[in-house]
Each structure stands twice: as C-alpha cells, then as structure tokens.
Structure 1
Amino acid sequence: MDHDHDHSNHGMADMTATSSGDHHHPTTPPDHMHGGMMMQMTFYFGCHNVELLFSGLVINGAGEMVGACIAVFLLAIFYEGLKISREYLLRKSQVSVRYNSMPVPGPDGTVLMETHKTVGQQMLSLPHLFQTFLHVIQVVVSYFLMLVFMTYNGYLCIAVAAGAGIGYFLFSWKKAIVVDITEHCH
C-alpha cells in the first residue's frame, strides 16, 4: 500500500463513507493532534509524554520534569532581569537632554512655569543597536515562556509564574522611579 499520496481530502471522504454506513475512521488527525500525540487542552499535572517547545524534547519522567521546571524557572528569571537591564541601559545611553518650559495656571489666577526634561538617543548608535539586539532576545524568550505555559502542564506553568515572580523580586527594586518635583497634583 502506498502512503506517499496527498491526504488533504481523505477526512471529507471518510466522513462521507461513515455517513453512508461504512465505518472507517478518519485518516486526518483532528486539530488537537500533533505528531500522533494528543495536545493537552486543559491544565493537568503529568510527567510523561510532555512535549516541550520542540518535537524531540519530550519529558518522560519525574526527574526530567524537575530538570525542565528548573530550566523554565531560570529562563523566567532571566527574562525579568533582561527587561530591567534594558531599562537601565536605556537610561545610561540617553544622550540628548532638553528642558522645556511651559506656562500652567497657578493658584489665584497666577501663571507658573513648569519645566520638563526630555531625553533621547541617536538611532544609528551602538547603544541603540545593542538595545535592538536585546529587544529581539527579550521577545523570543517571552514567546518561549508563553509557549511553555501553553503546554497546560501545571508543573511547567508554576515554574514560569514562580520564575517571573522571583525575577521581578530580584531585579525590580533597581528600577528607577522618576519623580517630577514640579508636579503639583499628587
């Protein structure tokens, strides 16, 4: 029997055959099938046949699950650190500083002048190119973490959430809080 022919219309043909009394099973896998394995569509806790990001990366045991959770946990921490590091590098690379003053109404009909600081960087500069490279890495890592969460495996989902929480705890305190001392509304 030759299996190298196109299967694109067999699902419809099999459905027609089934409705006419012939009890053949459809040859086209449903949308939630991938490589012969059922893709989980609800949250579950399991350690066997868990496909992680790539078709050859299948978790088949508790030890492998622990290792995968540690790797995912560290990846989520790295992601949070990368976000904060990019903000820090952006602040350090800002080259042009402008101060703009604008009149604002004050109390009792007076006019006050508020000063705002505007900073920027050059597009064709090494810091901006480096920021662009780091942005691409951040986007790829964020999609990997999203796809790990979309395995619906409870252990891996907990590892993503815990890593993001620990990463935020470790790195967010370095985040600068900008306070405008000329701000009158608190």
Structure 2
Amino acid sequence: MDHSGMDHSGDSMDMGTGACQISMLWNWTVQDACFLTSGWHIRSVGDYVGTLIGVFFLVVALEGVRRLGREYDQSIRAAYYRREALALAALAKNQGREVAQAAPFRPSHKEHAIRSVFYFVQYSVAFLLMLLGMYFNGGVLLAIFAGGGVGHFIFARDTATDSSTAYEQQKDECCC
C-alpha cells in the first residue's frame, strides 16, 4: 500500500523555528531538542541552560524529598517508642515489677499514607528523570549526575549515622 500521497504534516513537531530533534543515541543537541513533549522544545541556548538548571535542581529536590521521608520515618518511630516506654514504665510502677518490652513498631494507617505520599513523589520524579536520561543528551545527563551528587552531599549525611540513635542525634540538625 502506497502512503506517499498522505499528508504527514501532523507528524511534524515543528514549533516555528525548526523541527524537534529527538535522539536516543548519545548527543549534545542544544537547539531544537525536545524533551518529553513537543511543548518542551529548546529554541535557544538560554532555553537549554534553563533546562539544565531545572533538571539539576529537580534532582537536588528529589534528594531533599528522600531526606524528608527518612526523617518522617525516624520521627514516627521515635515517637512510638517514647509513648511505649512511658506506658510500660507506668504499667511497671503499678505492678511493682518490670514488664515486657515495647511491641515492634508499625505505622498507623495515617502515618503510612503520609509515607506513601513521600514514596509517590520520589518514584514519580525519579521516573521522569529516567525518561529525560533516555534522551542521552550529554548536558542533561551531566545535570542529572551533578544534581545527584550535590543533593546527596546536602541531604544524605544522615545515612551514615547509627540507625538506632539517628533520630536523637539529628533532631536539632537541619539538613547537613
């Protein structure tokens, strides 16, 4: 079947300055590159630099959300064990003898829903970053890698602490 007579103008992603150049091979395309949609059409070096800065800070923000999720987990776990310790101490005082240890921690439905929102944001942003990386644009990949490194430097210091005392050591620490 011959399709040469068909109008393919709807297939073009021409946005006025040139058609979108999409490549899944290593490239350094700056002008007329498109990412994710035809609406994310790079028309100038300024657009490209803005994209690189935005991608960089998106990765840094992802690391910040990961940190917030870890801190939330630590805070609900610490609050649970504080409540359990007080309840067990009161029970032991009333009974005049030592009682069993606190039950293992399990987040409430509300706490788990909040944890799931953190996970949703992390997963969604990470997936979009993976899709951006699949364009194999050198600048975008370098922005992703640099953002990951800087984000880890700013937000992941808590991962090197002793997990049994991490919350107590960090409750007054901001993000470094």
TM-score (norm 2): 0.66
- Largest Rg, 1 or 2: 1
Q: State the identity as a percent.
A: 24
Aligned partner of 2:108 among 115, 118, 122 = 122
Aligned partner of 2:44 in structure 1 is 61
Report deviation, 1:119: 2.5
Aligned to 1:167: 151
In the aligned structure 1, how far is the partner of 2:122 from the partner of 2:5? 42
Taking a change above 3 Å as real, the CA distance of residues 146 and 72 of structure 1, as seen in their structure-2 partners, is same
**Which residue of the partner structure matches residue 79 of structure 1?**
62
C-alpha distance in 2, partners of 1:161/1:34? Answer: 32
Greater mean alpha carbon deviation, residues 164-173 or residues 41-50: 41-50
Matches within 5 A, 1:24-103: 35=13, 37=20, 39-94=22-77, 96-97=80-81
| Distance change in 2, residues 1:142/1:91 (3 Å) | same
More helix by percentage: 2
The answer for unaligned runs of 5 or more in structure 2 is: 14-18, 85-100, 166-176
CA distance in 2, matches of 1:90, 1:151: 35
Deviation at 1:155, TM superposition (A): 0.4
How far the C-alpha of 1:56 sits from its partner, in A, is: 0.8
More RCO (CA 8 Å, sep 6+) = 2
Contact 2:61 2:151 in 1 (8 A): yes
1:89 CA drift (Å): 0.5
2:21–2:34: 8 Å Cα contact kept in structure 1?
no
Work out the CA distance in 2 between the residues paired with 1:39 and 1:66: 18
Kindly state the Cα deviation for residue 74 of structure 1 after the two structures are TM-superposed.
0.2
Q: CA 1:49/1:85 → structure 2, altered by over 3 Å: closer, same or farther? A: same
Which residue type is aligned with residue 163 of structure 2? V
Q: For residue 58 of structure 2, what is the amino acid of its counterpart? A: L
Corresponding residue number in structure 2 for 1:137? 121
For normalisation by structure 1, the TM-score amounts to 0.63
Cα deviation 1:4-61 (Å, max 9, x = unaligned): xxxxxxxxx24xxxxxxxxx7697x9xxx88475531211112111112222110122
Partners in 2 of 1:87 and 1:34 — Cα distance? 45
| Equivalent residue, structure 2, for 1:178 | 163
